[in-house]
Structure 1
């Protein structure tokens, strides 16, 4: 029976982060529920300059992280860009596919790498639980299948992806799957919140791994609390705290997106093995 090898890419640059702990928990739950032998290895990409060899793994989950996603001339940035190209080219040219999920900072890096639009700094840091709307393509997306429209996500970002280059998307066969909520009274373009980069590569600007406990932990950070109150107002902040563990909000999002991605990857890896 085929072993399934998962690489988790820690993009937090040695900052304490709840998100990576959650990614690890979801991966370990998948490992325990699988009949197959599932191995999990962690790579500290930015702080220790560690990068998985694409040939050695089947599934990759690349986390969020702090800072500017544009290149600063660091060694890991070149390695990471090469890694993205390797996975993408492998999937175009090889029968044996590699599966990659990109979260927040990783999603921004990939969107810059494939030149998909304008990844720029937001007017203010965004933090909170917010509704995200599916696009027409997103309505057909199996990772979103059991989620309502809009569905609720944890958003935590200083940067945003706006002004997508539709010509470039079409050229590469990539699709926008979700947009941030529409705010007609605010004259700002809606940010891209999820992209299907290919059949095997998916990315979200939001944090599909987030759970209520990590959200509460993050709100202990004054910067996050203030960002949330600034974005939504005190009333909305208190309401969010009250609704944080509603079964139909971030708990549902966490239970669907990453677990479905892992199951989809496993099914296809095993199908290839048996072919």
Structure 2
């Protein structure tokens, strides 16, 4: 039986982070529920400049993290850019594919690297549980199959991806599958919230790994609480906290997107291994 090898890329730059804990928990649940032997290794990309060798792993999850996604001349940035290209190109020339999920900061880094649009600083920090809308392509997206439209996800970002370059998307065969809520009364571009970069590479601006406990933990941080009240007002803030445990909100999103990604990746890896025997 073929082993499944996972690499988790920690992009938190040595800051304590709820999201990475959730990614690890989802990965360990996948490991526990698999008949196959699943190994999980963590790489501290920004703080320790650690990077997985792509030949050694099958599935990669790259986390969110703090700070500016634009280049600041650090060594890890080059290594991460090479890692993105390496996986993208590897999959074009090999039968056995590599699967990559990019979250928030990692999603922004990839979108900048592949020159997909304008990734700029938001007027104010965004934090909260947001409705995310599927695009036409998103209606067909396997990872969103069991989610309503809109579905709800945890948003936590100082930067945003707006003004996508549609020609560039077409050239690279990439698709926008989710965008933020349409607000006709506000004259602002709607941010891109999820991209299907390739058959094997997927990314979200939001946090599909988030759960209510982590969210409530995050709200103990005054910055997050203030951002949420500033964005939504006190009434909405209290309503969000109240609805945190709703089965059809972030609990549903957490149960669907990453677990479906992992299950599909595993299925394809095993099918490919069989075909190569």
TM-score normalized by the length of structure 1: 1.00
Give the match for residue 152 of structure 1.
152
CA distance in 1, matches of 2:82, 2:185: 42
Give the match for residue 183 of structure 2.
183
Give the match for residue 127 of structure 1.
127
CA distance in 2, matches of 1:120, 1:39: 37
Give the match for residue 209 of structure 2.
209
CA distance in 2, matches of 1:246, 1:31: 27
How far 1:64 moved relative to its partner? 0.1
Give the match for residue 137 of structure 1.
137
Give the match for residue 262 of structure 2.
262
How far 1:237 moved relative to its partner? 0.1
CA distance in 2, matches of 1:12, 1:34: 28
How far 1:209 moved relative to its partner? 0.1
> Secondary structure of 1:123's match?
strand
**Number of residue pairs matched by the alignment:** 275
Residue by residue over 1:30-76, the C-alpha shift from the partner in whole angstroms, topping out at 9 and shown as x without a partner, is 00000000000000000000000000000000000000000000000
> Secondary structure of 2:209's match?
coil
Give the match for residue 58 of structure 1.
58
CA distance in 1, matches of 2:244, 2:263: 26
Structure 2 unaligned segments of length 5 or more: list them.
none
TM-score normalized by the length of structure 2: 0.99
Structure 1 unaligned segments of length 5 or more: list them.
none
CA distance in 2, matches of 1:218, 1:157: 13
Runs of 4+ in structure 1 over 3 Å off? none
Give the match for residue 74 of structure 1.
74
Residue by residue over 1:196-236, the C-alpha shift from the partner in whole angstroms, topping out at 9 and shown as x without a partner, is 00000000000000000000000000000000000000000
TM-align CA RMSD: 0.3
> Secondary structure of 1:46's match?
helix
Give the match for residue 12 of structure 2.
12
> Secondary structure of 2:188's match?
coil
How far 1:88 moved relative to its partner? 0.1
Give the match for residue 49 of structure 1.
49
Is residue 2:210 matched to residue 1:200? no
How far 1:97 moved relative to its partner? 0.3
Residue by residue over 1:110-130, the C-alpha shift from the partner in whole angstroms, topping out at 9 and shown as x without a partner, is 000100000000000000001
1:199-238 matched pairs, under 5 angstroms: 199-238=199-238
Give the match for residue 96 of structure 2.
96
> Secondary structure of 1:193's match?
strand
> Secondary structure of 1:7's match?
strand
CA distance in 2, matches of 1:56, 1:197: 22
CA distance in 2, matches of 1:241, 1:124: 20
> Secondary structure of 1:120's match?
strand
Give the match for residue 32 of structure 1.
32
